[in-house]
Structure 1
Amino acid sequence: MTAQLNKNNLKTPYFMIDEKKLVANLEVAKQLKERSGVKLVLALKCFSTWGIFSIIKPYLDGTTSSGPYEVKLGHETFGGETHAYSVGYSEDDVKEVVDICDKMIFNSQSQLTAYRHLVEGKASIGLRLNPGVSYAGQDLANPAREFSRLGVQADHLDPQVLENINGVMFHMNCENKDVDAFSSLLDSISDKFGAYLDKLEWVSLGGGVFFTWPSYDVEKLAFVLKMFSEKHKVQLYLEPGEAIITKTADLVVSVVDIVENGKKTAIVDSATEAHRLDTLIYNEPASVLESSENGKYNYVIGSCSCLAGDQFCETQFEQPLEIGQKLHLLDSAGYTMVKLNWFNGLKMPSIYCERATGEIEKLNEFGYDDFKRSLSQWVVN
């Protein structure tokens, strides 16, 4: 009989996914589906921890991907509809997944022309269009940025191409918490592409619609989606990632040292570059559960990597931090586990799930053999 895991005894660093919080988000997704008729496919580029797909599957309609391995993972571990998309397919990529996907969406007209003969009769064919408008906080994540390579722009679109496909995909949002802004984007799409959409079977509106954010008007979102669907007589899809797993997991770390050079830095046994990469890429500081807005003890929460600017945040605490103390870096599910790497040979976080019953389930753990195997599989004498 396996001994039950105790949170207090787990070795850091580790991710802890909270089933209750995840189900709360999924119930909102269920409400949106019921009121709008939209179908939801999980964006695996954001979250692919398939050990808890059993929790998510009853609520969503399938998965969508950004590369061949995600297609295979969605097909094998999630089921439902499997959507295949890539910014750039090779012929081998298409052949590898065409028999296991339900929809294959091409990023360009040239890729569609090159490979559609491999897809016809096997999967529904789609094309990504770039609407030229978007909602994104940073240019790095803006699909409609200048000189964007993502999707076909309206002025480059060959109308005859749309006569021989089943659907289109637009991705134009990044953490959009404003339903009115999203509605305006839909109006723009209708104005620019409406005549084409009327001839299609389905339209995917991509991801980045943050409908599980506190106080988000889900009912209004459902209304505008339903109106758009009825206007163009298409089945609508959304591709949520963060909306499903937001605020459902912490990255738990331990303080291993405290150094001072003008400011006190608590060094923890984790690193943004290795374990929470978007903190570094987008310069979005982490939030710490144990911190206090009015605390009088200020610390930089620094990583144990050798990168000089690698830190999680700067925040305050009511009491001085101590060596060995655990800290919970909040909202650490999205774009973390899918981006883990072995930079500096740091120990990779284990992954756990706290079930609704309170039981702790280990989903994965990593060791030196995994690090070594990721670099070579044999020794050349």
Structure 2
Amino acid sequence: MQQNELKTPYFMINEDKLIENLEKAKQLKEISGVKLVLALKCFSTWGVFDIIKPYLDGTTSSGPFEVKLGHETFGGETHAYSVGYSEEDVREVADICDKMIFNSQSQLSAYRHLVEGKASLGLRLNPGVSYAGQDLANPARPFSRLGVQADHIDATVFESIDGVMFHMNCENKDVDAFIELLDAISAQFGEYLDKLDWVSMGGGVFFTWPGYDIDKLGSALKAFSVKHGVQMYLEPGEAIITKTTDLVVTVVDIVENDKKTAIVDSATEAHRLDTLIYNEPAAILEASEDGEHHYVIGSCSCLAGDQFCETTFAQPLKIGQRLHILDSAGYTMVKLNWFNGLRMPSVYCQRTSGAIEKLNEFDYSDFKRSLSQWSVN
């Protein structure tokens, strides 16, 4: 099977690039003693978990279906967290998770009796400091609902839980900035942490970014672990799968209205939602920074502002030409939707051997079934 034979749109995961990130994760673990659990909210394409499992310690979730998926397809440690559990949710996952982390003291109080004796109990704390590029993704934004604020803590709760989770980073590529957050947490919560068995620093630490000082991060995590006598966890998502996957699309039309727009057979609102939500332009493999031919790469959805990016090319684009939208793994496949009834991208993995493995494909029956269960005459 050759890539040019595959029907677009499709995602292509590259095993070699994935292993390159995972080797950095292995290096961090060896230096620091930290345990790493994959954040399924970012990436849960379980067809490549065979590549990831030898390197990581388990998975962490943001909802009950992710808990089940991690337990069934990944193994290792299964961490359960949700901003808001129902009693049904708790009962559903208490027997299959290793750690259950509650977002509030009220939820912990209401449901702990369903978890005790089955899983390690944890609570999310909000340190009031963070590193995030946009307010939308900032856990420490004003009036945040994410975790317990320091001035709201009932100190007695630490006598009857096993660990805590902090999540206050989003694409933090600055190791010194992360260490400052570690120091702030140690100073603010140290007396509580000393009573616990484990501490998770959540995700958003971009230790696989080119040039990131993994040794410095590892040493800081190890020092924190020793100081407070806790097992440290990180919950990487984007760091594991960054730069591993392309969304491959085809130019289906070229229109002009002061600017030329190449319309492709995909859409940000349906297939790459974070591009739209965060207004972060996508990168195109075939583009050229000094190219003379300027195009908007437009989606085929009906949303007027739905476009992937504006960029330049060395040669004019042609209808039927394929484009590779780079770095399309994180927060893409987990957010796919059927807006406009567009064709859902297939998912493939190019293995180290060069072989292309089909992980999933979709057709009209999947679209129809997603909307109603009974047949319509």
Specify the TM-score bucket, using the shorter chain as the normaliser.
over 0.9
Matching residue within 202, 212, 226 for 1:206: 202
Structure 2 CA distance, aligned partners of 1:193 and 1:75? 31
What's the secondary structure of 2:92's corresponding residue? Answer: helix
Task: Tell me the residue number matched to 1:103.
Answer: 99
What is the 5 A alignment of 1:85-124?
Answer: 85-124=81-120
- Percent sequence identity is 82
Confirm or deny that 1:339 pairs with 2:335.
Answer: yes
Paired residue type of 1:273: E
Paired residue type of 1:129: L
What's the secondary structure of 1:79's corresponding residue? Answer: coil
What is the 5 A alignment of 1:297-312?
Answer: 297-312=293-308
Task: Tell me the residue number matched to 1:70.
Answer: 66
TM-score between the two structures when normalised by the length of structure 1: 0.98
Confirm or deny that 1:41 pairs with 2:32.
Answer: no
Structure 2 CA distance, aligned partners of 1:90 and 1:29? 34
Task: Tell me the residue number matched to 2:149.
Answer: 153
What's the secondary structure of 1:378's corresponding residue? Answer: coil
Paired residue type of 1:124: S
Paired residue type of 2:180: S
Deviation at 1:380, TM superposition (A): 7.0
What's the secondary structure of 1:168's corresponding residue? Answer: strand
Task: Tell me the residue number matched to 1:273.
Answer: 269
Structure 1 CA distance, aligned partners of 2:47 and 2:241? 14
Structure 2 CA distance, aligned partners of 1:379 and 1:249? 36
Structure 2 CA distance, aligned partners of 1:328 and 1:177? 25
Paired residue type of 1:299: Y
Paired residue type of 2:204: G
Structure 2 CA distance, aligned partners of 1:380 and 1:209? 48
Moved over 2 A (4+): none
Alignment RMSD (CA, Å): 0.6
What's the secondary structure of 1:30's corresponding residue? Answer: helix
Matching residue within 333, 346, 349 for 1:350: 346
Structure 1 CA distance, aligned partners of 2:242 and 2:57? 19
Structure 1 CA distance, aligned partners of 2:62 and 2:220? 27
Structure 1 CA distance, aligned partners of 2:181 and 2:130? 7
Deviation at 1:24, TM superposition (A): 0.2
What's the secondary structure of 1:299's corresponding residue? Answer: strand
Deviation at 1:162, TM superposition (A): 1.2
Confirm or deny that 1:233 pairs with 2:229.
Answer: yes
Deviation at 1:18, TM superposition (A): 0.2
Matching residue within 135, 141, 146 for 2:137: 141
Task: Tell me the residue number matched to 1:359.
Answer: 355
Residue-by-residue CA offset, 1:302-338 (whole Å, 9 max, x unaligned): 0000000000000000000000000000000000000
Confirm or deny that 1:190 pairs with 2:186.
Answer: yes
Deviation at 1:375, TM superposition (A): 0.1
Residue-by-residue CA offset, 1:128-167 (whole Å, 9 max, x unaligned): 0000000000000000000000000000000001110000
Deviation at 1:8, TM superposition (A): 1.2
TM-score between the two structures when normalised by the length of structure 2: 1.00
Deviation at 1:379, TM superposition (A): 4.2
Confirm or deny that 1:16 pairs with 2:31.
Answer: no
Residue-by-residue CA offset, 1:259-303 (whole Å, 9 max, x unaligned): 000100000000000000000000000000000000000000000
Matching residue within 320, 323, 338 for 1:324: 320
Deviation at 1:235, TM superposition (A): 0.1
Paired residue type of 1:39: K
Task: Tell me the residue number matched to 1:80.
Answer: 76
